[in-house]
Amino acid sequence: MKIAMIIVRTLMGLMFLFASVVVLFKINMGKMPEMSEANKTFMAGITASGYLMTFIKVTELVCAILFLIGRYVTLATVVIFPIVINILLTHIFVAPEGVPTAVALLIGNLFLAYYYRKNYVTLFAAK
């Protein structure tokens, strides 16, 4: 189980690292696939806010680094979860071609949460 956790953690870290570095440093990865009108509108809204895309990508970058170095993985798993849910919902409703990748991210995040479930006990303790 520990080997699976290391593999999942590393793959998620690499996926988020790549996704954040490409956007933050404006790296041109060649010809981008054509986006649907709904996806263009959605991305224009996020970009128009001026801060939201940068905030999301910096959060992804920090979590990716934590996943890759294996420190504070429990915290990174909690912090990245709303972003993963948003990625999944965006791909379900706006860009269905990305659903398999989004589902893989969700499964990976849930697996890490399950692996570190003992660390979350105090979060759910009713006082």
Domain ranges across the chain: 2-26+35-119
CA–CA separation, 83 and 101 (whole Å): 13
CA–CA separation, 7 and 16 (whole Å): 14
Q: What is the mean pLDDT of residues 61-83?
A: 97
pTM of the model: 0.90
Radius of gyration for the chain, computed over Cα atoms and rounded to the nearest angstrom: 16
Reported as a pLDDT band with limits 50, 70 and 90, residue 116 is: very high
Q: Is the confidence at residue 32, as pLDDT, over 90? A: no
Cα dihedral sign, 118-120-77-40: positive
Reported as a pLDDT band with limits 50, 70 and 90, residue 60 is: very high
Report pLDDT for 122: 87
pLDDT in tens, 88-110: 999 999 989 899 999 999 999 99
pLDDT in tens, 39-59: 889 888 888 988 999 999 999
The SS3 call for residue 112 is: helix
> Which amino acid appears at position 86 of this protein?
N
Contact 8, 112 (CB under 8 A): yes
Q: Look-up: residue for tokens 């990748």? A: 101
